[in-house]
Amino acid sequence: MTPTLQGHTSYHSHSRWSDGRKSLTEMIRAAEAAGLDEYGVADHFVLTPDRQPIDWSMPLDRLEEYVTEVQAAAAQAASTVRLGIEVDFFPETVAEVVARLSPYPFDYLIGSVHYVDRFPIDSSADDWRPLSAAEVNEKHRLYWVRVAELARSGAFDFIGHLDLGKKFACYPSVPPTAEIQTALQAIAEGGLAVELNTAGWDKPCAEAYPAFELLQRCQEAGVPVLMNDDSHSPRRIGGHYERGARLLRAAGYDEVVRFAGRERTAHPLVIPGETAP
């Protein structure tokens, strides 16, 4: 029997408002069936510097409708439903994004880097294949530069899939050690949390984001953590949570955070299936 996910939350989840497969109501029902304490939807909001429409983003002019639908679904749900959003970070548009989001009562904003300049990090392995070793190194390096900028922007509550560059198992021959260190420092100084994103276990990289070593470094730097599934369909909600919780504990974490009205609170880390002391 799958253990109940009581004591857990799922805050990074996509509905048909962006690239998820099901309606918000269907996702909420699945979260309730899984036994989660809280479910938060975080559909994509992508404002690129050249303002090209992105097909996996919500339509930017329908932000208000998105918020209204989440609020209505939350009011009807038997469980706690949070209003989140996954924002693509671009240094050129972050100020405008903040201004567009500021009228709405979000519980949390996820900051994610899916592009370095125009290069899509996580859309297809085919984007990586033609790159030379030096180009691969440069994409990874730039990714971490963007993560540091995201952290310094002060716009977000937590960072999505911290080491996304590894998704297609296309690793740098020379890891950007200095840039990673700078980014982790910026995250700690910026007071952001990071997510343990369990979806990575189902990708070619075959491990959660971030990797264990990075998770340990976050823990040592006092960076708070939360666990998310990045689900795009009901059956992915709470995926790999037991494994994820054990990984968090092994990295030294004994608390996870939750968000309400962009305020953060800490809660004990629960291992699914393990009886409480």
Residues lying near Zn ion in the complex (CB under 5 A) are found at: 86, 112, 160, 230
**Minimum gap (Å) between residue 197 Cβ and Zn ion:** 8
Place of tokens 């209505």: 72
Candidates 188, 157, 161, 190; CA nearest to 265 is 157
DSSP 189-258: HHT-EEEEEGGGGGSTT-SPBSPHHHHHHHHHTT--EEEE--BSSGGGTTTTHHHHHHHHHHTT--EEEE
Would you say 8 or 161 has its CB closer to Zn ion? 161
Q: Which helix (H) or strand (E) holds 133?
A: helix 133-153
Phi, then psi, of 182 in degrees rounded to 5: -60, -40
**Minimum gap (Å) between residue 114 Cβ and Zn ion:** 6
**Minimum gap (Å) between residue 239 Cβ and Zn ion:** 13
**Minimum gap (Å) between residue 100 Cβ and Zn ion:** 19
**Minimum gap (Å) between residue 88 Cβ and Zn ion:** 8
Amino acid at 59: P
Would you say 163 or 230 has its CB closer to Zn ion? 230
Cβ-contact 186, 152 below 8 angstroms: yes
Candidates 77, 76, 82; CA nearest to 38 is 82
Would you say 115 or 253 has its CB closer to Zn ion? 115
CA dist 267 and 192 (Å) reads 16
Would you say 86 or 179 has its CB closer to Zn ion? 86
Question: Which residue of the chain is nearest Zn ion when measured via CB?
Answer: 112
Would you say 157 or 270 has its CB closer to Zn ion? 157
Would you say 91 or 268 has its CB closer to Zn ion? 91
**Minimum gap (Å) between residue 256 Cβ and Zn ion:** 18
Task: Give 192's contacts (C-beta < 8 A, 6+ positions apart).
Answer: 111, 151, 156, 157, 158, 159, 223
